[in-house]
Each structure stands twice: as structure tokens, then as C-alpha cells.
Amino acid sequence: MNSKRLISKLITRRHGDTESYALFHIKPKPSVSSVLSVPLCEILLILILFISCNSQKLVTQEISIERNGQVIATVKAEIARTNDEQTQGLMYRQSLPDGEGMLFVYESDQILSFWMKNTYIPLTIAFINFEGRITEIRDMYPHDTNAIYSNRPVRYALEVPQGWFSRIGVKEGDTVIIEK
């Protein structure tokens, strides 16, 4: 019988020459294992959902980086447009292959700031103006909670594995071709 179901019991009481009947609901005492298993199951379910949501990739786009009209590199970038996507960024990722990254897209030019809280992989960030020109490139380190600010208002930021830009020759002044 299910321990969560109430057990109904008909009790007969005798008082002198009369009999009365009463219906009592007796709730069985929960066992220790049932008390612990429900919260534990809920905690495990929440943890599984949290991990699966955190590792979920966003919509990706092939992004070209050009110099003097010639493509010098392409990046398969996840596109972070919403505040939630931008806040999550690359947190909790265990790896990021060369040639992949995340493009943060903002609606207007602004001074951007990024930190590496809960980010396990070293990254390099390129701050990009509204024309697609890379204005600066900076390295970022795992779990560093110090903010990295863009030196001027920019519209985009592109994070890739640390050192990838320098390994393929991407420099400040190069142009990132971004579909609007």
C-alpha cells in the first residue's frame, strides 16, 4: 500500500448497551528512507536540469574576420543576444575548441565589462565597434572576478580560447563580418 495514501479504519466503540461507529483517518508514520528520498530526488532533478541548461549551446553563426578585404579566419560563434544569454556566457564550460567562441551582441554602443566568475577555461576577448572593427584584444583568466572593461564604447565582444587570435594572426584593426 502506498505510504502517502491515508488509511481509513472503521472503529467500533461500545458504551454500555450502545455501539457507535466512527471513521478515523490514520496517516502512517513516514519511514526515514521515504523522508530523505523525496528531497534527495528533487535536489538531483534540479541539479541535472541546472547542468543540462548550463551546457546548452546557443544558436551558432560562422563569422569571418577580414584584413584588407581578405578573410584571414572564421569562427563558429554562439550568439548571445539576450541579457540571460550574455550573463551566462561561457560559464561552466569545460572546454572550447580553437575556431569556436561566443559573440555578445548589444543594441547600442557602450563600455562593456566582462569577468570570468565560474568560467573554467582561459579566454581571449575582442571588443568590436559598430562597424565590426576590432578595437582591442585582451586575455582573461579562469575564475578571475576582476572586470575587464573595453577602453571605448563598442557594440560587440567575441570570446575565443585564449591565444587563438594571436595563433592565427588576428589583430586590432581587423574587421569582423557580423550579420545584423
Q: Residue 35 is inside which H or E element, if any?
A: helix 32-54
Q: Output 122 or 55, whichever has higher pLDDT.
A: 122
16 found inside a domain: yes
Q: What is the pLDDT of residue 2?
A: 47
Same domain? 82 vs 163? yes
Coil vs helix vs strand at 39: helix
CA-wise closest residue to 125 among 166, 69, 93: 166
Same domain? 24 vs 100? no
CA-wise closest residue to 128 among 140, 145, 110, 141: 110
Same domain? 120 vs 37? no
Cell of 96: 572550447
When divided into structural domains, the chain yields a total of 2
Same domain? 164 vs 89? yes
Same domain? 25 vs 106? no
Same domain? 72 vs 147? yes
Same domain? 77 vs 142? yes
Same domain? 20 vs 40? yes
What CATH number should be reported for the domain holding residue 75? 2.60.120.1140
Contacting residues for 12 by C-beta, under 8 A, at least 6 apart: 19, 20, 21
Average pLDDT on 42-58 reads 57
Q: Is the pLDDT of residue 60 over 70?
A: yes
1 found inside a domain: no
Same domain? 151 vs 173? yes
Same domain? 45 vs 134? no
Average pLDDT on 90-101 reads 96
Q: What is the pLDDT of residue 38?
A: 55
Find how far residue 155's CA is from the centre of its chain: 22
Q: In which band, very low, low, confident or very high, does the pLDDT at 27 lie, cut at 50, 70 and 90?
A: low
Report whether 24 contacts 11 (CB < 8 A). Answer: yes
Contacting residues for 99 by C-beta, under 8 A, at least 6 apart: 73, 74, 75, 76, 164
Same domain? 29 vs 100? no
Q: What is the pLDDT of residue 179?
A: 83
Q: Is the pLDDT of residue 137 over 70?
A: yes
Q: In which band, very low, low, confident or very high, does the pLDDT at 7 lie, cut at 50, 70 and 90?
A: very low
2 found inside a domain: no
Burial (CB count <10 Å: 0-12, 13-18, 19+), residue 120: middle
Q: What is the pLDDT of residue 29?
A: 61
Average pLDDT on 42-67 reads 70
Residue 16, Ramachandran bin (φ over 0: left; ψ between -120 and 50: alpha; else beta):
left
The overall average pLDDT reported for the chain is: 82
Q: In which band, very low, low, confident or very high, does the pLDDT at 58 lie, cut at 50, 70 and 90?
A: confident
Separation CA 118–CA 91 (nearest Å):
5
Q: Is the pLDDT of residue 57 over 90?
A: no
Separation CA 79–CA 118 (nearest Å):
19
- Structural domain boundaries enclosing 81: 60-177
What is the share, in percent, of the chain residues with pLDDT greater than 90? 66
Average pLDDT on 112-134 reads 97
